[in-house]
Amino acid sequence: MADIIIKNAYVLTMDPDAGDLKNGTVVIEDGKITEIGEKTKESAETVIDAKGSVVMPGLVNTHTHAAMTLFRGYADDLQLAEWLEKHIWPAEAQLTAEDVYKGSLLACLEMIRSGTTSFADMYFFMDETAKAVEASGLRASLSHGLIELWNKEKGETDLKEGKRFVRAWQGAAGGRIKTMYGPHAPNTCSDEFLAKVKEEARKDGAGLHIHVLETEAELLAMKERYGKCSVHMLDDIGFFGPDVLAAHCVWLSDGDIEILRKRGVNVSHNPISNMKLASGTAPIYKMLERGVNVSLGTDGCASNNNLDLFEEMKTAALLHKLNTGNPTALPARQVLKMATVNGAKALGTETGMLKVGMKADLIIVDMKKPHLTPCFDVPSQLVYSAGGSDIRTTIVDGKVLMDDYRVLVMDEQKVIEEAQKAAEELVSRAKA
Ligand SMILES: O=c1[nH]cnc2c1ncn2[C@@H]1O[C@H](CO)[C@@H](O)[C@H]1O
Ligand SMILES: [Zn+2]
């Protein structure tokens, strides 16, 4: 007997070999997809009638700082350097472990509600984010943020904590948690330090999550310091490989794109954060054309201001049509692939597609809504008309986290109230 059967659904598999099923069935057993077809002979404890809905792979958010939900709307409409140095970092100096737990749990709740089933995070007090991931049932690749700032002692302390975290949580929560090293950026960490972090990551078989060329200011600072940009510096110290997740990648030359492609680096595109902080437009069309693995991320809620990947998909599609002057750039299906298949590849998880043998991370989108009617093309509808609040059911690792808009894994009101209170207290400490 299977665990879950989803029937009567439009099945958007994202599997190029299988295509879509207009009226299909997905069978889940032991956390995996065991059958996809028109009908099944199986029976299951839980049978979900998904008539009028789309079942598709859960979305993958490849760059966020989950606990920053506490800073949602706290410091808007500012320059990145001022935003980070004058507002966010002083407030972060007041963060406690408990704050991070509450903020991370709020983030997990928001992601479950908006159809994200796994995410890559870089922050502090990461044990707390890991506990929130464990409790919420989501899947995540987590890293402790290492911000050396040319201070050897701080570098060592951060790296030690990063390593402890990597080792403590690798493979935890039944394999749902993976750990990575999280050196913050090439303009906040020295080349020497970054090389050391790479070396440690290699020893531990862990990936690396880093911000790269988010701003022009970073590009100019790198040219001044090293006589070359971040991508060339990182390449020269042997940092790059398929184990690297590089967020933003806005200020790239054609040569940089070629390096990222050659090294198999995974890029996380965060269009809303880049637009909000006016960081610039990443050359995503070119990267995709040349075969770079580009996925989508929201960045933290202080620069977005939510974790809704549906908004991110639409924004990515629109931004690159405008930027290239080409309305055929980034069509809906390609953007969906970025948010599913490419994201899963970036995190090295067996998810992102509905395919027999893959992990059962999937979402059911309620299409019986005024703004989703009529429906001529499902991918178009998902990217251009749908939003995170159209998700009715979220399943991760074969476990139902939200059933028909009811979140089963946490007390939703309590999570909201506690996060609200923690955020207010945190901000008043920061302003004191
Ligand atoms: O867009 C961004 N660019 C640079 N740093 C950021 C951004 N968003 C968040 N952080 C910062 O990264 C650190 C986590 O390791 C935190 O200090 C967080 O505020
Ligand atoms: Zn970030």
Residue 1 Cα to ligand 2 middle (Å): 44
Distances (CA, A) of 301 to 3, 192, 261, 298: 35, 31, 29, 8
Pocket test for ligand 1, best of 184, 187, 218, 230 (most atoms within 8 A of CB): 184
111 phi/psi in degrees, rounded to 5: -70, -40
Residue 211 Cα to ligand 1 middle (Å): 8
Atom number, ligand 1, closest to the C-alpha of residue 184: 15
Residue closest by Cα to atom 19 of ligand 1: 88
Counts of helices then strands in the chain (DSSP H, E): 16, 17
Q: Quick one: pLDDT at residue 84?
A: 86
Residue 100 Cα to ligand 2 middle (Å): 16
Distances (CA, A) of 335 to 309, 313, 340, 342: 11, 6, 9, 10
Q: Quick one: pLDDT at residue 80?
A: 83
Q: Quick one: pLDDT at residue 156?
A: 98
Tell me how crowded residue 15 is: count the other CB atoms within 10 A of its CB: 18
Q: Quick one: pLDDT at residue 431?
A: 85
Q: Quote the pTM value.
A: 0.98
396 phi/psi in degrees, rounded to 5: -130, 130
Atom number, ligand 1, closest to the C-alpha of residue 214: 3
Q: Which residues line ligand 1 (CB under 6 A)?
A: 65, 84, 88, 92, 122-123, 145, 182, 184, 211, 214, 273, 299-300, 303
Which helix (H) or strand (E) segment holds residue 160: the answer is helix 152-169
Non-local (6+) Cβ contacts of 80 within 8 A are 214, 215, 217, 277, 279
Cα–Cα dist 237/210, whole Å: 15
Cα of 320 vs its chain's centroid, Å: 20
Pocket test for ligand 1, best of 61, 88, 276 (most atoms within 8 A of CB): 88
Residue closest by Cα to atom 14 of ligand 1: 123
Q: Is 14 helix (H, G, I), strand (E, B) or coil?
A: coil
Q: Which ligand has the nearest atom to the CA of 247?
A: 2
Cα–Cα dist 100/91, whole Å: 12
Residue closest by Cα to atom 4 of ligand 1: 211
Question: Inter-axis angle of helices 412-431 and 97-114, to 10 degrees?
Answer: 130
Tens-binned pLDDT, residue by residue, of the chain (432 aa)? 999 999 999 999 999 999 999 999 999 999 999 999 999 999 999 999 999 999 999 999 999 999 999 999 999 999 888 888 899 999 999 999 999 999 999 999 999 999 999 999 999 999 999 999 999 999 999 999 999 999 999 999 999 999 999 999 999 999 999 999 999 999 999 999 999 999 999 999 999 999 999 999 999 999 999 999 999 999 999 999 999 999 999 999 999 999 999 999 999 999 999 999 999 999 999 999 999 999 999 999 999 999 999 999 999 999 999 999 999 999 999 999 999 999 999 999 999 999 999 999 999 999 999 999 999 999 999 999 999 999 999 999 999 999 999 999 999 999 999 999 999 999 999 888
Measure the CA dihedral 284/289/291/292, to 10°. -10
